[in-house]
Amino acid sequence: MGKVIGLTGGIGTGKSTVSNLLEVHGFKIVDADVASREAVEKGSEGLQQIKQVFGDKAIDQNGEMDRKYIGEIVFNDAKKRKELNQIVHPIVREIMDEQKEQYLSEGYNVIMDIPLLFENNLQDTVDETWLVYASESIQVERLMERNDLSQEEAKARVYSQISIDKKRRMADHVIDNRGTLLELKQNLEQLLMDEGYIQQADYNQEEE
C-alpha cells in the first residue's frame, strides 16, 4: 500500500514546482485546485447548486461559473462564502478521495496537493505533511513579480494565510525553496533519499 503525503506551502513558495518534480519521481498527484475546478465545471451538479444559491448571474454566457461575480460576492459576505464552501468542499473531497483510492489500489505513493491544508485542518487526512518553504519576504517578492502586484497587495495575500513559519513548525518535513531551482531539486532529492523513496543510485543516474 502506498503512502499518502499532504503537500502544502504558502502563496509564492513554489509548491507547484515541487509537485511537478515529485511527479517526475513517480508520485501520483491529486491536486485540490484541479478538483475545485472539476467540482463546478459546466453541466455539473455543483454548478447547478451554485446557481440555486447565487442566482442566474452566477453562470456566464458559456454556461460556466462566473468566477469574478461569485468572487466579489463571497469576498464581501462571510455568510455567502460559507454557503459556497458548503457546496464545493464536499464535492472536492469526493473527487480527491476517489483519485487517491484509485492510485493507492495501483500501488503508487500519492501526493495530496492542498494549498490550505493547515488552514482547513486536513493534516489528519494524510499520513504525513510536507511543506514547501520560502521566507515571507521572498513570498512577497515573488508575488509582486509573478502577478504584477504592489508590495501592499502582495503582503495582503501572504498575510491572509497562516504564516509560513507557523506552518513550518506544524509540518513533518520541510522542503527549502529559498534559493535556485537547482538547489530546490537537490533539497527535494535529499528528502526523498532520507525517506527511502529513491536510492542514491537513482539520484546519481539522474545527474549523469
The two counts, helices (H) then strands (E), for the chain are 10, 5
Cβ neighbours around 154 below 10 Å, total: 22
Q: Which residue from 161, 81, 80, 83 is spatially nearest to 116, judged by alpha carbons?
A: 161
- Is 125 annotated in a binding site? The answer is no
- Is 129 annotated in a binding site? The answer is no
- Is 10 annotated in a binding site? The answer is no
- Is 16 annotated in a binding site? The answer is yes
- Is 137 annotated in a binding site? The answer is no
- Is 13 annotated in a binding site? The answer is yes
Rounded distance between C-alpha atoms, residue 57 and residue 74, angstroms: 14
3-state secondary structure of 106: coil
Binding site, by residue number, is 12-17
Binding site for ATP, by residue number, is 12-17
